[in-house]
Amino acid sequence: MQHVLITGGSGFIGSHLCERFLSEGYAVTALDNLVTGQKENIKNVLKHPHFEFIEQDVCDPIDLRSWKNLKAHGLSGVLHFACPASPIDFEKIPFVILKVDSIGTMKTVDLAIEHKARYVLASTSEVYGDPLVHPQTEDYWGNVNPVGVRSCYDEAKRFSEAYVHTARLYSDLNSGIIRIFNTYGPRMRKDDGRVVPELCMQAIQGKTLTIHGDGSQTRSFCFVDDLVDGIYKMFQSKESGPFNLGNPNEFTVKEFAEKVVEYTGSKSKLSFIPARADDPKQRKPDITRVQTKLGWNAKVNLDQGLKKTIEFFNL
């Protein structure tokens, strides 16, 4: 049996990844300090015989001796997904973000090198900043403000990419970098401030939907099942990436808000508040590279995905 470590395993994306790897016959260790994740997210797998949860900060010393899956199966994969990812977190816990994307990345890379394990880094479309190239291709270097309110996240992820890339070049790390574009679905925190939960919860609660800016900024929303499928394919390959993973169907935030109102059956109105600083004006992945190299495509359209997500928020 093969064993993978998923950092951030009780977060939104990490918890779906744990389930996918278990269902593919892997043993899984989820390491998480619950700074933004919740144990509730992994309640379906906590009692699984090949699942282990380690509650700790990935930046702290890691004592591998007690890990039962490691003892039994060694370590064939590390997926580094620990990192707060919401704009609210950029203001509240910026140093946590900078640390997990620097020290956390270095520690997990060392672990992968030591065990000759495949390493997948969760990077982000934010490495493109407020992009001047549209749609974004992987060879675009980005337009990032290094001293802005989002820089703790954007630049930290750029450092992570550089570290992983360098370890591949000089330390034989079998690595793959994925750049995730706005992903949504069940288990997002209802209050995490990202556009999908924020607008859905406002509509469900009958409140006015507040749109930052004039709503003409665009986003491309990828359903979590599609994303997890792309991550799994990346893990199984030897590709280094970076690969954009996202759904290329692009919507303005205003169009998205109107869909939310329609699918929740809400009578809420839209209102427009000042834009967030350095908020990207447009966001759409060019996924030609991942289509060609991994045969991956986003399959779930926004209508299908949004209905499932609203069902979850309604629980």
Ligand X SMILES: NC(=O)c1ccc[n+]([C@@H]2O[C@H](COP(=O)([O-])OP(=O)(O)OC[C@H]3O[C@@H](n4cnc5c(N)ncnc54)[C@H](O)[C@@H]3O)[C@@H](O)[C@H]2O)c1
Specify the residue, 95 or 170, whose C-beta has the smaller distance to ligand X: 95
The verdict on whether 153 is a catalytic residue reads yes
Specify the residue, 89 or 266, whose C-beta has the smaller distance to ligand X: 89
Could you list the residues that contact ligand X (CB under 6 A)? 7-8, 10-14, 31-37, 57-59, 81-85, 96, 100, 104, 122, 124, 180, 182-183
Packing angle of the helix pair 224-236, 12-23 (nearest 10 deg): 60
Specify the residue, 248 or 272, whose C-beta has the smaller distance to ligand X: 248
Nearest to 129, CA basis, from 110, 115, 149: 149
Given the residues 26, 128, 153, 163, select the one marked as catalytic: 153
Specify the residue, 7 or 266, whose C-beta has the smaller distance to ligand X: 7
Structure tokens given for 48: 């699984």
Give, for 210, the enclosing helix (H) or strand (E). Answer: strand 209-212
CB of 7 to ligand X, least distance (A): 6
115 residue type, one letter: H
CB of 222 to ligand X, least distance (A): 8
CB of 204 to ligand X, least distance (A): 20
3-state secondary structure 223-292: EHHHHHHHHHHHHHCCCCCCEEECCCCEEEHHHHHHHHHHHHCCCCCEEEECCCCCCCCCCCECCHHHHH
Could you give the CA distance from residue 74 to residue 68 in angstroms, rounded to a whole number?
10
CB of 262 to ligand X, least distance (A): 23
Specify the residue, 83 or 257, whose C-beta has the smaller distance to ligand X: 83
CB of 265 to ligand X, least distance (A): 26
Question: What's phi and psi for 175, nearest 5 deg?
Answer: -115, 155
Could you give the CA distance from residue 161 to residue 79 in angstroms, rounded to a whole number?
13
Pairing assessment for the beta strands 218-220 and 250-252 based on DSSP bridges: antiparallel
Q: Are 179 and 173 in contact (CB under 8 A)?
A: no
How far lies 182's CA from each of 57, 84, 282, in Å? 25, 14, 12
Which positions are annotated as active-site residues? 153
